[in-house]
Amino acid sequence: MTAFSLEPAQADWCAELRELAARRLRPLAGRGEPGRVNRALVTELGRLGLLSRLFTSGALDLCLMRESLARACTEAETALALQGLGAHPVHAHGTEAQRGRWIPRVSDGSAVAAFALSEPGAGSDAAALALAADPDGAGGWRLTGEKCWISNAPEADLYTVFARTGPGAGSRGVTAFLVPADRPGLTGTPLDMLSPHPIGTLRFDAVPVTADDLLGEPGRGFRVAMDTLNLFRPSVGAFAVGMAQAALDAALEHTASREAFGGRLGDLQAVSHQVAEMAVRTEAARLMVYAAAAAHDAGEPDVPRRAAMAKLLATETAQYVVDRSVQLHGARALRRGHLLEHLYREVRAPRVYEGASEVQRGIIAKELYKSLEDR
């Protein structure tokens, strides 16, 4: 297999995922409450074996799962992705005891995970986080401060939390902790956001953590965060590609059947050229996502640049394609409950989370100039 084509078995698996999402996951998603964790949906993802694949598959498989689910049910895609994002640091950097306690529960959907990095003053500038981890005098720490815009908060059962244990500026002195939701002093509030999945704030009032809660080494938490984001950024692009493809499919079907101006809407060159442009951009984004994921799985050194490029191109492309599809559909696409109305709300957030588009451009430029210096 190359980065630019899929084996027949992979293509068949993607088709099977889309069918499962439409038949078994979409009905559960429809019965969920916007802004709340849909535990029935998470449980079904576990029953289907998709959550356990988060911890046994590479980046390309993760992208194929996210793209396939997103084409049929964005809520299922997001529920799956958030489980992976929140629990991957436990899987990759946790102790045997931590993994033994939490990974089986995340895999079967009985525990909901969350990735708690962003803060009110440290969103795109993740290295500026200020959540304090103060020594308690007994070999542990007390976490004090706030996290904000945390997906699955405040309903998750476990949180990967990044806090400052040392006085160093920027990424130095940041430590990752696994914090169960029942720790004393940990509270949260849901936020009413545009996107339908749950997002909230977390408040830490001297929350106790010990050496047994460490994820990785003290002071090396930023590496844990970046390792996780380098894996998941291409798959955010895959989520975006899935939404773009769903919007493109809807535009094709609509313009092929809609009668307007004495013929099919798709017979108008102004329309057909827009559809062609949507298709070209979607395919280009897909290929870049696959290439970035394949580079990650191969252990290539330029993964940060490729991951940033994939997320940037795919999320910006999805915004364009969904917007164009809405325009081609007209007012019907703006009715509550229409697929494109749903996609229009979903597609905006990925350009912001896990590093905004501007952050991705900064990463790309930094990596390009670094490669020049290394020659």
Residues with catalytic roles: 354
Q: Note whether 204 and 185 are within 8 A (CB).
A: yes
Give yes or no for a cis peptide into 218 (omega within 30° of 0). no
**Lookup result for tokens 């244990």:** 165
Tokens for 159, please give them: 């949180």
What are the DSSP calls for 321-371, one per residue? HHHHHHHHHGGGGGSTT-HHHHHHHHSSGGGTTTS-HHHHHHHHHHHHHHH
Tokens for 150, please give them: 């945390």
Distance CA 147, CA 130 (A): 9
Q: Note whether 157 and 82 are within 8 A (CB).
A: no
Distance CA 336, CA 347 (A): 16
Q: Note whether 251 and 324 are within 8 A (CB).
A: yes
Distance CA 67, CA 64 (A): 5
Q: Note whether 351 and 315 are within 8 A (CB).
A: yes
Neighbours of 189 (CB within 10 A): 11
